[in-house]
Chains A and B, each alone.
Chain A
Amino acid sequence: MKVTADRSRCMAAGHCAISAPAVFDHGEDGLVVVLDAEPGEDQRRAVEVAENLCPSRAIALLDASAAAPAQGAPPAG
Protein backbone atom coordinates (compact mmCIF):
# COMPACT_ATOMS: atom_id res chain seq x y z
CA MET A 1 0.00 0.00 0.00
CA LYS A 2 1.35 3.42 -0.98
CA VAL A 3 0.34 6.61 0.80
CA THR A 4 0.75 10.23 -0.29
CA ALA A 5 -0.13 13.54 1.34
CA ASP A 6 -0.36 16.72 -0.70
CA ARG A 7 1.03 19.54 1.45
CA SER A 8 -0.34 22.15 -0.93
CA ARG A 9 -3.88 21.01 -0.04
CA CYS A 10 -3.36 20.36 3.68
CA MET A 11 -5.26 22.70 6.02
CA ALA A 12 -3.60 21.37 9.18
CA ALA A 13 -6.78 19.88 10.58
CA GLY A 14 -4.74 17.09 12.20
CA HIS A 15 -7.04 14.11 11.67
CA CYS A 16 -4.41 12.08 9.85
CA ALA A 17 -1.89 12.16 12.71
CA ILE A 18 -4.63 11.14 15.15
CA SER A 19 -6.09 8.30 13.10
CA ALA A 20 -2.82 6.90 11.74
CA PRO A 21 0.03 8.16 13.94
CA ALA A 22 2.45 5.56 12.56
CA VAL A 23 1.97 6.94 9.06
CA PHE A 24 1.39 10.70 9.43
CA ASP A 25 2.79 13.49 11.56
CA HIS A 26 3.01 17.27 11.32
CA GLY A 27 5.93 19.53 10.58
CA GLU A 28 6.84 22.74 12.41
CA ASP A 29 4.56 24.61 10.01
CA GLY A 30 1.60 22.51 11.22
CA LEU A 31 1.16 20.78 7.86
CA VAL A 32 1.13 17.04 7.20
CA VAL A 33 4.31 14.98 6.92
CA VAL A 34 4.31 11.35 5.76
CA LEU A 35 6.35 9.20 8.15
CA ASP A 36 5.89 5.93 6.30
CA ALA A 37 5.01 6.13 2.60
CA GLU A 38 4.66 2.36 2.24
CA PRO A 39 3.02 1.15 5.42
CA GLY A 40 2.09 -2.48 6.03
CA GLU A 41 -1.40 -3.88 5.64
CA ASP A 42 -1.98 -3.53 9.38
CA GLN A 43 -2.18 0.22 8.78
CA ARG A 44 -4.81 0.01 6.03
CA ARG A 45 -7.85 0.70 8.18
CA ALA A 46 -6.14 3.61 9.94
CA VAL A 47 -5.08 5.17 6.62
CA GLU A 48 -8.60 4.75 5.24
CA VAL A 49 -9.98 6.58 8.25
CA ALA A 50 -7.45 9.39 7.68
CA GLU A 51 -8.28 9.58 3.97
CA ASN A 52 -11.98 9.75 4.75
CA LEU A 53 -11.64 12.39 7.44
CA CYS A 54 -9.18 14.69 5.70
CA PRO A 55 -11.36 17.73 4.95
CA SER A 56 -9.23 19.00 2.11
CA ARG A 57 -8.67 15.67 0.34
CA ALA A 58 -4.93 15.89 0.82
CA ILE A 59 -4.43 12.19 1.57
CA ALA A 60 -4.41 9.41 -1.00
CA LEU A 61 -4.14 5.67 -0.60
CA LEU A 62 -2.73 4.63 -3.95
CA ASP A 63 -3.58 0.94 -4.32
CA ALA A 64 -6.99 1.21 -2.72
CA SER A 65 -8.34 -1.40 -5.13
CA ALA A 66 -6.03 -4.13 -3.89
CA ALA A 67 -7.62 -6.09 -1.08
CA ALA A 68 -9.62 -3.11 0.17
CA PRO A 69 -12.24 -4.41 2.58
CA ALA A 70 -15.86 -3.75 1.68
CA GLN A 71 -17.32 -0.68 3.36
CA GLY A 72 -18.41 -1.39 6.87
CA ALA A 73 -16.35 -4.58 7.06
CA PRO A 74 -14.37 -5.08 10.26
CA PRO A 75 -10.73 -4.01 10.13
CA ALA A 76 -8.48 -6.74 8.76
CA GLY A 77 -6.38 -8.53 11.36
Chain B
Amino acid sequence: MNAPPTTANEELFAYPQDRACPWQPSPGYQDLGRRGPLHRVRLWDGRTIWMVTGHTQARRLLADPRMSADRSRDDFPAVLPRLDAPIFKPIAIIGFDPPVHDVHRRLLAPDFSLKHVRAVRPQVEELARRLAADMLRAGPPVDLVQAYALPIPSMVISELLGVPYEDHEFFEAKTVGLLQAKSAEDAERAGRELWDYLDGLITRKEREPGGSGVLSRLAGQVTEDGDLTREDLLRIALALLIGGHDTTSQMIALGVVTLLEHPDQLAALRADPGALPAAIDELLRLVSITDVSGVRVATEDIEIDGEVIRAGEGVLVSSSMTNRDPAVFPRPYEFDVHRTVGDNAASGRQHLTFGFGIHQCLGQNLARMELEVAFSVLFEEIPGLRLGTPLEALPTRSGGTMQGVHTLPVEW
Protein backbone atom coordinates (compact mmCIF):
# COMPACT_ATOMS: atom_id res chain seq x y z
CA MET B 1 0.00 0.00 0.00
CA ASN B 2 3.01 2.28 0.25
CA ALA B 3 3.21 3.80 -3.21
CA PRO B 4 6.54 5.44 -3.98
CA PRO B 5 6.32 9.13 -3.12
CA THR B 6 6.42 10.43 -6.68
CA THR B 7 3.86 8.15 -8.32
CA ALA B 8 0.86 10.04 -9.63
CA ASN B 9 -2.14 7.94 -8.76
CA GLU B 10 -5.45 9.15 -10.11
CA GLU B 11 -7.32 7.12 -7.52
CA LEU B 12 -5.81 9.00 -4.60
CA PHE B 13 -7.49 11.81 -2.71
CA ALA B 14 -6.38 15.15 -4.13
CA TYR B 15 -5.07 17.72 -1.62
CA PRO B 16 -6.17 20.47 -1.00
CA GLN B 17 -9.96 20.83 -1.18
CA ASP B 18 -12.06 23.94 -0.54
CA ARG B 19 -14.21 24.38 2.53
CA ALA B 20 -17.97 24.45 1.95
CA CYS B 21 -18.60 26.22 5.27
CA PRO B 22 -16.09 28.82 6.57
CA TRP B 23 -15.62 27.08 9.94
CA GLN B 24 -15.85 23.43 8.89
CA PRO B 25 -13.27 21.32 7.02
CA SER B 26 -13.98 20.44 3.41
CA PRO B 27 -16.54 17.63 3.00
CA GLY B 28 -13.76 15.52 1.46
CA TYR B 29 -11.57 15.81 4.58
CA GLN B 30 -14.57 14.91 6.75
CA ASP B 31 -14.95 11.76 4.68
CA LEU B 32 -11.26 10.88 5.13
CA GLY B 33 -11.53 11.44 8.87
CA ARG B 34 -14.33 8.90 9.13
CA ARG B 35 -12.17 6.29 7.38
CA GLY B 36 -9.24 6.31 9.82
CA PRO B 37 -6.34 8.34 11.20
CA LEU B 38 -3.75 8.07 8.37
CA HIS B 39 -4.24 8.57 4.64
CA ARG B 40 -2.29 8.80 1.42
CA VAL B 41 -3.08 11.95 -0.56
CA ARG B 42 -1.85 13.33 -3.87
CA LEU B 43 -0.39 16.84 -4.20
CA TRP B 44 -0.52 19.33 -7.07
CA ASP B 45 2.85 18.08 -8.38
CA GLY B 46 1.75 14.45 -8.42
CA ARG B 47 3.64 13.54 -5.29
CA THR B 48 1.99 11.29 -2.69
CA ILE B 49 2.25 12.18 0.99
CA TRP B 50 0.55 11.12 4.22
CA MET B 51 -2.30 13.16 5.64
CA VAL B 52 -2.96 12.67 9.37
CA THR B 53 -6.50 13.14 10.73
CA GLY B 54 -6.15 11.25 14.06
CA HIS B 55 -5.30 13.31 17.16
CA THR B 56 -3.09 10.72 18.93
CA GLN B 57 -1.17 9.92 15.74
CA ALA B 58 -0.69 13.64 15.04
CA ARG B 59 0.73 14.33 18.50
CA ARG B 60 3.07 11.35 18.24
CA LEU B 61 4.38 12.33 14.83
CA LEU B 62 4.76 16.04 15.58
CA ALA B 63 6.72 15.24 18.76
CA ASP B 64 8.93 12.64 17.02
CA PRO B 65 12.54 13.82 16.47
CA ARG B 66 12.74 11.60 13.37
CA MET B 67 10.34 13.98 11.62
CA SER B 68 12.17 16.92 10.02
CA ALA B 69 10.80 20.42 9.44
CA ASP B 70 13.80 21.37 7.30
CA ARG B 71 12.33 22.97 4.18
CA SER B 72 15.68 23.08 2.40
CA ARG B 73 15.74 19.25 2.10
CA ASP B 74 15.05 17.95 -1.40
CA ASP B 75 12.51 15.48 -0.06
CA PHE B 76 10.53 18.11 1.88
CA PRO B 77 7.06 18.26 0.28
CA ALA B 78 5.78 21.56 -1.15
CA VAL B 79 2.11 21.03 -0.29
CA LEU B 80 1.05 24.03 -2.41
CA PRO B 81 2.75 25.51 -5.51
CA ARG B 82 3.66 28.74 -3.69
CA LEU B 83 5.58 26.77 -1.06
CA ASP B 84 8.02 25.78 -3.79
CA ALA B 85 9.33 29.39 -3.83
CA PRO B 86 13.01 29.73 -2.74
CA ILE B 87 12.01 32.34 -0.14
CA PHE B 88 10.23 29.63 1.89
CA LYS B 89 13.32 27.41 2.03
CA PRO B 90 14.64 28.02 4.54
CA ILE B 91 12.05 29.98 6.52
CA ALA B 92 13.31 30.85 10.02
CA ILE B 93 12.50 28.75 13.11
CA ILE B 94 9.46 26.95 11.68
CA GLY B 95 11.61 25.46 8.89
CA PHE B 96 14.65 24.44 10.96
CA ASP B 97 15.43 21.38 13.03
CA PRO B 98 17.38 21.44 16.30
CA PRO B 99 19.89 22.66 17.26
CA VAL B 100 19.44 25.84 15.17
CA HIS B 101 15.67 25.85 15.78
CA ASP B 102 16.04 25.79 19.55
CA VAL B 103 18.70 28.51 19.61
CA HIS B 104 16.61 30.93 17.56
CA ARG B 105 13.37 30.11 19.33
CA ARG B 106 14.94 30.76 22.74
CA LEU B 107 16.26 34.12 21.54
CA LEU B 108 12.63 35.14 21.05
CA ALA B 109 11.03 33.43 24.04
CA PRO B 110 11.12 36.49 26.37
CA ASP B 111 9.21 38.68 23.89
CA PHE B 112 6.42 36.12 23.48
CA SER B 113 6.17 35.03 27.11
CA LEU B 114 2.94 35.22 29.10
CA LYS B 115 4.42 38.02 31.19
CA HIS B 116 5.17 40.14 28.18
CA VAL B 117 1.79 39.41 26.62
CA ARG B 118 0.00 40.43 29.83
CA ALA B 119 2.02 43.61 29.99
CA VAL B 120 0.96 44.80 26.52
CA ARG B 121 -2.72 43.84 26.90
CA PRO B 122 -3.93 47.30 28.06
CA GLN B 123 -2.46 48.90 24.92
CA VAL B 124 -4.22 46.33 22.74
CA GLU B 125 -7.51 47.06 24.52
CA GLU B 126 -7.10 50.76 23.91
CA LEU B 127 -6.35 50.09 20.26
CA ALA B 128 -9.42 47.86 19.84
CA ARG B 129 -11.68 50.50 21.44
CA ARG B 130 -10.30 53.17 19.16
CA LEU B 131 -10.93 51.02 16.07
CA ALA B 132 -14.48 50.20 17.23
CA ALA B 133 -15.15 53.90 17.80
CA ASP B 134 -13.90 54.66 14.28
CA MET B 135 -16.28 52.03 12.89
CA LEU B 136 -19.22 53.53 14.78
CA ARG B 137 -18.31 56.97 13.51
CA ALA B 138 -18.01 55.78 9.89
CA GLY B 139 -21.34 53.96 10.12
CA PRO B 140 -22.42 50.73 8.44
CA PRO B 141 -21.63 48.92 6.23
CA VAL B 142 -17.97 48.37 7.16
CA ASP B 143 -15.44 45.78 6.00
CA LEU B 144 -14.48 44.24 9.33
CA VAL B 145 -11.21 42.85 7.95
CA GLN B 146 -9.79 46.27 7.02
CA ALA B 147 -11.41 48.21 9.87
CA TYR B 148 -10.73 45.89 12.78
CA ALA B 149 -9.54 42.30 12.25
CA LEU B 150 -6.36 43.24 10.38
CA PRO B 151 -5.22 46.46 12.16
CA ILE B 152 -5.18 44.83 15.62
CA PRO B 153 -2.60 42.07 14.95
CA SER B 154 -0.82 44.21 12.41
CA MET B 155 -0.20 47.05 14.87
CA VAL B 156 0.67 44.62 17.64
CA ILE B 157 3.32 42.81 15.62
CA SER B 158 4.82 46.00 14.19
CA GLU B 159 5.09 47.44 17.70
CA LEU B 160 6.62 44.21 19.03
CA LEU B 161 9.15 43.95 16.21
CA GLY B 162 9.83 47.65 15.84
CA VAL B 163 8.52 47.82 12.25
CA PRO B 164 7.00 51.27 11.51
CA TYR B 165 3.22 50.85 11.39
CA GLU B 166 2.96 53.57 8.72
CA ASP B 167 4.30 50.92 6.30
CA HIS B 168 1.40 48.59 7.12
CA GLU B 169 -0.36 48.78 3.75
CA PHE B 170 2.85 47.62 2.10
CA PHE B 171 3.63 44.70 4.41
CA GLU B 172 0.02 43.55 4.67
CA ALA B 173 -0.40 43.48 0.89
CA LYS B 174 2.90 41.68 0.37
CA THR B 175 2.09 39.13 3.07
CA VAL B 176 -1.23 38.33 1.41
CA GLY B 177 0.65 38.25 -1.92
CA LEU B 178 3.07 35.73 -0.46
CA LEU B 179 0.54 33.58 1.41
CA GLN B 180 -2.17 33.54 -1.24
CA ALA B 181 0.04 33.33 -4.35
CA LYS B 182 -1.06 30.78 -6.92
CA SER B 183 2.48 30.14 -8.16
CA ALA B 184 6.00 29.92 -6.76
CA GLU B 185 7.04 32.88 -8.95
CA ASP B 186 4.35 35.20 -7.54
CA ALA B 187 5.18 34.13 -3.99
CA GLU B 188 8.88 34.72 -4.59
CA ARG B 189 8.26 38.20 -5.99
CA ALA B 190 6.16 39.30 -2.99
CA GLY B 191 8.58 37.63 -0.58
CA ARG B 192 11.61 39.39 -2.07
CA GLU B 193 9.94 42.78 -1.71
CA LEU B 194 9.34 42.07 1.96
CA TRP B 195 12.91 40.83 2.28
CA ASP B 196 14.37 44.00 0.76
CA TYR B 197 12.14 46.14 2.94
CA LEU B 198 13.27 44.35 6.12
CA ASP B 199 16.88 44.47 4.97
CA GLY B 200 16.66 48.27 4.77
CA LEU B 201 14.91 48.47 8.11
CA ILE B 202 17.54 46.35 9.85
CA THR B 203 20.29 48.46 8.29
CA ARG B 204 18.68 51.54 9.87
CA LYS B 205 18.49 49.76 13.22
CA GLU B 206 22.16 48.82 13.00
CA ARG B 207 23.04 52.47 12.41
CA GLU B 208 20.88 53.72 15.28
CA PRO B 209 21.21 51.19 18.10
CA GLY B 210 18.98 51.33 21.15
CA GLY B 211 15.65 51.50 19.31
CA SER B 212 12.60 49.70 20.65
CA GLY B 213 11.38 46.30 19.56
CA VAL B 214 12.72 42.80 19.02
CA LEU B 215 14.57 43.63 15.81
CA SER B 216 16.64 46.38 17.44
CA ARG B 217 17.46 44.13 20.37
CA LEU B 218 18.52 41.27 18.10
CA ALA B 219 20.42 43.56 15.71
CA GLY B 220 22.77 44.18 18.65
CA GLN B 221 23.40 40.43 19.00
CA VAL B 222 24.37 39.64 15.42
CA THR B 223 27.75 37.99 14.85
CA GLU B 224 28.69 36.43 11.55
CA ASP B 225 30.25 33.34 13.16
CA GLY B 226 27.86 32.95 16.10
CA ASP B 227 24.29 31.85 16.82
CA LEU B 228 22.68 34.73 14.96
CA THR B 229 23.97 35.91 11.60
CA ARG B 230 22.53 38.93 9.83
CA GLU B 231 20.80 36.62 7.36
CA ASP B 232 19.29 34.66 10.28
CA LEU B 233 17.94 37.92 11.69
CA LEU B 234 16.39 38.85 8.35
CA ARG B 235 14.77 35.45 8.07
CA ILE B 236 13.45 35.72 11.63
CA ALA B 237 12.06 39.19 10.92
CA LEU B 238 10.29 37.87 7.82
CA ALA B 239 8.85 34.84 9.61
CA LEU B 240 7.53 36.94 12.52
CA LEU B 241 6.08 39.66 10.33
CA ILE B 242 4.27 37.13 8.12
CA GLY B 243 3.31 34.78 10.95
CA GLY B 244 2.20 37.57 13.20
CA HIS B 245 -0.71 39.17 11.43
CA ASP B 246 -2.45 37.17 8.70
CA THR B 247 -3.30 34.17 10.90
CA THR B 248 -4.61 36.22 13.78
CA SER B 249 -6.56 38.69 11.64
CA GLN B 250 -8.32 35.91 9.76
CA MET B 251 -9.02 34.15 13.04
CA ILE B 252 -10.71 37.33 14.31
CA ALA B 253 -12.74 37.57 11.08
CA LEU B 254 -13.88 33.93 10.93
CA GLY B 255 -14.33 33.91 14.70
CA VAL B 256 -16.79 36.79 14.40
CA VAL B 257 -18.61 34.98 11.57
CA THR B 258 -18.85 31.81 13.67
CA LEU B 259 -20.16 33.69 16.71
CA LEU B 260 -22.72 35.63 14.67
CA GLU B 261 -23.97 32.42 13.06
CA HIS B 262 -24.40 30.81 16.52
CA PRO B 263 -26.48 33.42 18.39
CA ASP B 264 -27.15 31.00 21.27
CA GLN B 265 -23.41 30.58 21.85
CA LEU B 266 -22.79 34.32 21.58
CA ALA B 267 -25.55 34.91 24.13
CA ALA B 268 -24.06 32.27 26.44
CA LEU B 269 -20.72 34.02 26.23
CA ARG B 270 -22.21 37.45 26.94
CA ALA B 271 -23.91 36.00 30.01
CA ASP B 272 -20.65 34.48 31.29
CA PRO B 273 -17.63 36.62 30.32
CA GLY B 274 -15.38 34.44 32.52
CA ALA B 275 -15.83 31.69 29.94
CA LEU B 276 -14.07 33.77 27.28
CA PRO B 277 -10.55 32.24 27.47
CA ALA B 278 -11.94 28.71 27.11
CA ALA B 279 -14.33 29.90 24.40
CA ILE B 280 -11.37 31.30 22.45
CA ASP B 281 -9.76 27.86 22.47
CA GLU B 282 -13.04 26.32 21.32
CA LEU B 283 -13.16 28.84 18.45
CA LEU B 284 -9.52 28.10 17.62
CA ARG B 285 -10.35 24.38 17.59
CA LEU B 286 -13.41 24.73 15.42
CA VAL B 287 -12.16 27.28 12.89
CA SER B 288 -8.63 25.76 12.57
CA ILE B 289 -7.62 28.85 10.66
CA THR B 290 -4.42 27.44 9.13
CA ASP B 291 -6.16 24.12 8.38
CA VAL B 292 -2.76 22.44 8.90
CA SER B 293 -0.83 21.83 12.14
CA GLY B 294 2.44 21.15 10.41
CA VAL B 295 4.20 19.55 7.45
CA ARG B 296 7.22 17.27 7.91
CA VAL B 297 9.37 14.70 6.19
CA ALA B 298 10.37 11.40 7.81
CA THR B 299 14.13 10.95 8.15
CA GLU B 300 13.80 7.26 9.12
CA ASP B 301 11.11 4.61 8.72
CA ILE B 302 8.47 5.21 11.38
CA GLU B 303 5.93 2.58 12.38
CA ILE B 304 2.60 3.94 13.47
CA ASP B 305 -0.78 2.23 13.80
CA GLY B 306 0.27 -0.74 11.68
CA GLU B 307 1.51 1.50 8.86
CA VAL B 308 5.09 2.41 8.01
CA ILE B 309 5.97 5.96 7.06
CA ARG B 310 9.13 5.46 5.02
CA ALA B 311 12.20 7.66 5.26
CA GLY B 312 11.80 10.46 2.72
CA GLU B 313 7.98 10.46 2.77
CA GLY B 314 6.10 13.65 3.50
CA VAL B 315 3.50 14.06 6.24
CA LEU B 316 0.81 16.75 6.53
CA VAL B 317 -1.09 16.99 9.80
CA SER B 318 -4.61 18.37 9.36
CA SER B 319 -5.58 20.64 12.23
CA SER B 320 -9.19 20.91 11.11
CA MET B 321 -9.59 17.11 11.23
CA THR B 322 -7.41 16.21 14.25
CA ASN B 323 -9.43 18.90 16.06
CA ARG B 324 -12.52 16.84 15.28
CA ASP B 325 -11.24 13.49 16.49
CA PRO B 326 -14.29 12.24 18.42
CA ALA B 327 -12.05 10.38 20.89
CA VAL B 328 -10.83 13.75 22.21
CA PHE B 329 -13.69 16.08 21.30
CA PRO B 330 -17.18 14.59 21.66
CA ARG B 331 -19.74 16.13 19.23
CA PRO B 332 -16.72 17.37 17.26
CA TYR B 333 -18.55 19.45 14.66
CA GLU B 334 -20.51 21.39 17.27
CA PHE B 335 -19.47 24.82 18.50
CA ASP B 336 -19.84 24.80 22.28
CA VAL B 337 -18.33 27.70 24.23
CA HIS B 338 -18.75 25.69 27.44
CA ARG B 339 -16.98 22.60 26.15
CA THR B 340 -14.46 22.56 29.00
CA VAL B 341 -16.63 23.65 31.91
CA GLY B 342 -16.18 21.52 35.01
CA ASP B 343 -12.62 20.65 34.10
CA ASN B 344 -9.37 22.61 34.22
CA ALA B 345 -10.06 25.48 31.82
CA ALA B 346 -6.74 24.89 30.06
CA SER B 347 -7.76 21.38 28.99
CA GLY B 348 -9.56 22.96 26.02
CA ARG B 349 -6.06 23.63 24.71
CA GLN B 350 -5.76 20.06 23.46
CA HIS B 351 -6.62 21.20 19.94
CA LEU B 352 -3.78 21.20 17.42
CA THR B 353 -4.54 24.61 15.85
CA PHE B 354 -1.15 25.84 17.06
CA GLY B 355 0.60 22.57 16.19
CA PHE B 356 2.44 20.30 18.63
CA GLY B 357 6.01 19.40 19.53
CA ILE B 358 8.93 21.79 19.52
CA HIS B 359 7.43 23.88 16.69
CA GLN B 360 4.18 24.61 18.50
CA CYS B 361 3.30 28.22 17.75
CA LEU B 362 5.62 30.74 19.37
CA GLY B 363 2.96 33.46 19.08
CA GLN B 364 0.08 31.53 20.62
CA ASN B 365 -0.16 33.46 23.88
CA LEU B 366 -0.01 36.73 22.00
CA ALA B 367 -2.66 35.48 19.57
CA ARG B 368 -4.97 34.29 22.37
CA MET B 369 -4.73 37.66 24.09
CA GLU B 370 -5.43 39.54 20.85
CA LEU B 371 -8.45 37.33 20.20
CA GLU B 372 -9.81 37.81 23.73
CA VAL B 373 -9.52 41.56 23.42
CA ALA B 374 -10.84 41.67 19.85
CA PHE B 375 -14.03 39.69 20.54
CA SER B 376 -14.84 41.21 23.94
CA VAL B 377 -14.37 44.83 22.82
CA LEU B 378 -16.21 44.35 19.51
CA PHE B 379 -19.36 42.78 20.98
CA GLU B 380 -19.35 45.23 23.88
CA GLU B 381 -18.99 48.36 21.72
CA ILE B 382 -21.20 47.20 18.85
CA PRO B 383 -23.76 44.85 20.43
CA GLY B 384 -26.05 44.90 17.38
CA LEU B 385 -23.34 43.61 15.02
CA ARG B 386 -24.55 41.38 12.15
CA LEU B 387 -23.27 40.10 8.81
CA GLY B 388 -23.79 42.53 5.95
CA THR B 389 -24.03 39.73 3.41
CA PRO B 390 -25.51 36.23 3.48
CA LEU B 391 -23.07 33.60 4.77
CA GLU B 392 -23.03 31.84 1.37
CA ALA B 393 -21.95 35.07 -0.35
CA LEU B 394 -18.84 35.65 1.80
CA PRO B 395 -15.71 35.82 -0.38
CA THR B 396 -13.77 32.95 1.21
CA ARG B 397 -10.20 31.88 0.50
CA SER B 398 -9.64 28.64 -1.36
CA GLY B 399 -8.43 25.35 0.17
CA GLY B 400 -4.85 24.96 1.36
CA THR B 401 -3.29 26.36 4.49
CA MET B 402 -4.38 29.91 5.30
CA GLN B 403 -8.17 30.01 5.46
CA GLY B 404 -10.23 33.18 5.77
CA VAL B 405 -12.27 35.81 3.95
CA HIS B 406 -11.08 38.51 1.55
CA THR B 407 -13.58 40.97 3.01
CA LEU B 408 -16.18 40.74 5.76
CA PRO B 409 -19.05 43.23 5.32
CA VAL B 410 -20.82 43.92 8.63
CA GLU B 411 -23.71 46.14 9.75
CA TRP B 412 -25.42 47.03 13.04
Are A and B genuine complex partners? Answer: yes
A46 cross-chain contacts in B, Cβ below 8 A:
344
- Taking the closest CB of chain A, its distance from the CB of B64, in whole angstroms, is 11
Q: Is the CB of B113 within 8 A of A12?
A: yes
Please give the number of chain A residues whose Cβ is less than 8 angstroms from any Cβ of chain B in the complex: 24
Per-residue 0/1 for B102-129: is the Cβ within 8 Å of any A Cβ (1 yes, 0 no)? 1001100111111110000000000000
Give the distance to chain B from A55, nearest Cβ to Cβ, in Å. Answer: 4
What is the CA–CA distance of A54 and B346 in the complex, to the nearest angstrom? Answer: 11
Which of A23-31, A34-42, A62-70 contacts the other chain? A23-31
Q: Of B63, B105, B112, B360, which is in contact with the most chain A CB atoms at under 10 Å from its CB?
A: B360
Q: How many whole Å from A35's CB to the nearest CB in chain B?
A: 14
B398: min CB distance to chain A, Å? 29
Q: Are B350 and A31 in contact (CB under 8 A)?
A: no
Supposing A12-B112, A14-B114, A17-B114 touch, asked if A53 and B346 sit within 8 A by C-beta, the answer is yes
How far in angstroms is the closest Cβ of chain A from B95? 16
Is A30 a contact of B109 with CB atoms below 8 Å? yes
Known A55-B63, A55-B356, A56-B357; contact A15-B109, beta-carbon cutoff 8 A: no
A18 within 8 Å of B (CB atoms): yes
Q: Does B347 contact A (CB under 8 A)?
A: yes
Chain B nearest CB from A19 CB (Å) reads: 4
Check: A57 CB closer than 8 A to any chain B CB: yes
Chain B residues, CB < 8 A from A45? 344
In the complex with contacts A45-B344, A57-B63, A31-B114 CB distance below 8 A: no
Mark out the residues of chain A between 1 and 26 whose CB falls within 8 Å of any chain B CB in the assembled complex: 11-15, 17-19, 26
Name 19 A/B residue pairs within 8 A (Cβ), A-sorted: A11-B358, A11-B360, A12-B112, A12-B113, A14-B113, A18-B349, A19-B344, A19-B347, A26-B115, A30-B110, A49-B344, A49-B347, A53-B347, A53-B350, A55-B62, A56-B357, A56-B360, A57-B63, A74-B342
